[in-house]
Chains A and B, each alone.
Chain A
């Protein structure tokens, strides 16, 4: 399976954030999106995830099994700045909800909740309310969310921003394991993720005020 983006552009409000972004990644490949602050990395990821409308261009899945997905978004996991976990519920309740609600995409299946917690190095505390965890632990539990339901594409927005070195290594291991299962990953980051050889996409950080209309 390949994830192909062709000549994407997007705007926020009146401003065109980026223009003519194209990439093509295949199974087992990762794309790292780099660029200065405000260059539109997050916007690009949200456009790919279908959370923001695109101005022009196309995102599609090509290859075997692509009929299984109604939309590109339904083939993706999105790990944004916020963890999408409820403080009042225990970690287990949170993870179980996402496991049941998201369900597995065609092709593979997610791992159990305890196994996922073990994989992020926090086994044994799934019975605690999510709000009791420290910021780093919360982030790691949010990563466990990627593991409990299978999605071929991982979209990661600054995944390791609040993490220490050990957790970064742990996360690189998770992504590598995902790639080796035939998954794809797109990550926007400043830090090197330690994934080895990956494709890179440099966003120029171009900001062109809307030429038409109000200019």
Chain B
């Protein structure tokens, strides 16, 4: 299993890998927002957490379509399906590698972008923490979408369409946890714990569904 993790990470950082593209997309999307809403620092500080979360959600979805498609195109998927190793476990490890390569950089880049959004330190920390806990959920549920769309031409856009509605709960609890951390009366823990629970649930549902979809998609 470590072999798979190492291979996927290597592929992500080698030429043509998607490790950097996600962060770049994230930065660009967030950077474009002020041009739309105007450079009012107070307004930006207020909407900052939401913008960061939406940007991270879109960036995390980007590149998910290649998760299984690349394996299918060169025939590796056939061999992966044949192994004794449970497919669910294989999918889980692939998700993990994908998250380390694309999700973790988003988390690391988020404080920098929070500066651009004029967010203060607590909001920045809360955003980073919720992204750290929440982005794996997007990857896990996205894996299910990627597996469903694996055999389709132009699966990339389809994955986003399929997964975005499923990721709405993650967005809701992630953003509300950040706002709860910043605005006094609302408690931070309940939405944050919901977010954690969502990630754990998706860590089970996503790989199981993806494994089933992959088995069904062979031809």
How far is B74's CA from A209's CA once the two chains are assembled, in angstroms?
A: 31
Binary contact readout A74-114 vs B (1 if CB under 8 angstroms, 0 otherwise): 10101011111111110001001110111100000000000
CA distance A81 to B83 in the complex (A): 19
Chain A residue at smallest Cβ distance from B216:
A53
Question: How many A-B contacts if CB must be within 8 Å?
Answer: 75
Contact present for B82 and A101 (CB under 8 Å): no
Give bound CA distance, A12 to B219, whole Å.
8
Report Cα–Cα, A89/B15, bound state, in Å.
10
Q: Mark B69-95, 1 if CB is under 8 A from A, else 0.
A: 000011110111111110000000000
CB pair B84–A70 under 8 Å, yes or no, is yes
A49 within 8 A of B: yes
Say yes or no: B74 contacts A101, CB within 8 Å: no
B218 within 8 Å of A by Cβ?
yes
Whether B11 contacts A52 by the Cβ 8 Å rule is no
A80 engages B219 (CB within 8 Å): no
Q: Is B154's CB within 8 Å of the partner chain A?
A: no
Find out whether the CB atom of B4 lies under 8 angstroms from the CB atom of A101: yes
Q: Which chain A positions have C-beta within 8 A of B1?
A: 101
Q: Is the CB of B7 within 8 A of A93?
A: yes
Across the two chains, which residue of chain A brings its CB closest to B4?
A: A101
Instruction: List chain B residues, Cβ under 8 A from A50.
Output: 81-82
**A12 vs B1: C-alpha distance in the bound complex, in angstroms?**
33
Interface size class of B (residues with CB under 8 A): 20 to 34
Q: How long is the Cα–Cα vector from A69 to B1 in the complex, in angstroms?
A: 19
A70 CA / B87 CA spacing, docked (Å) = 13
- In the assembled complex, the Cα of A77 lies from the Cα of B1 at a distance in Å of 19
Interface: B32 (CB within 8 A):
no
Most central of B1, B15, B84 by chain A CB within 10 Å: B84
Q: B11–A86 contact, CB under 8 A?
A: yes
- The reply to whether the CB of B165 lies closer than 8 angstroms to some CB of chain A is no
B76: chain A residues within 8 A (beta carbon)? 84-86
Which residues in B have some Cβ–Cβ distance to A below 8 Å? 1-4, 6-7, 10-11, 14-17, 73-76, 78-85, 218-219
Chain A residues proximal to chain B, CB less than 8 Å? 12, 46, 49-52, 69-71, 73-74, 76, 78, 80-89, 93, 96-98, 100-103
Q: Other CB < 8 Å A-B pairs besides A46-B218, A93-B7, 10 of them?
A: A52-B218, A71-B84, A74-B82, A82-B73, A85-B76, A86-B7, A86-B76, A88-B11, A93-B10, A101-B83
A sample of 27 cross-chain residue pairs with beta-carbon separation below 8 angstroms, ordered by A number, consists of: A49-B78, A51-B78, A51-B82, A51-B218, A52-B219, A71-B84, A73-B81, A74-B83, A74-B84, A76-B82, A81-B75, A82-B78, A83-B74, A84-B74, A84-B79, A85-B74, A85-B76, A86-B76, A88-B11, A88-B15, A96-B3, A97-B4, A100-B2, A101-B3, A101-B83, A101-B85, A102-B79
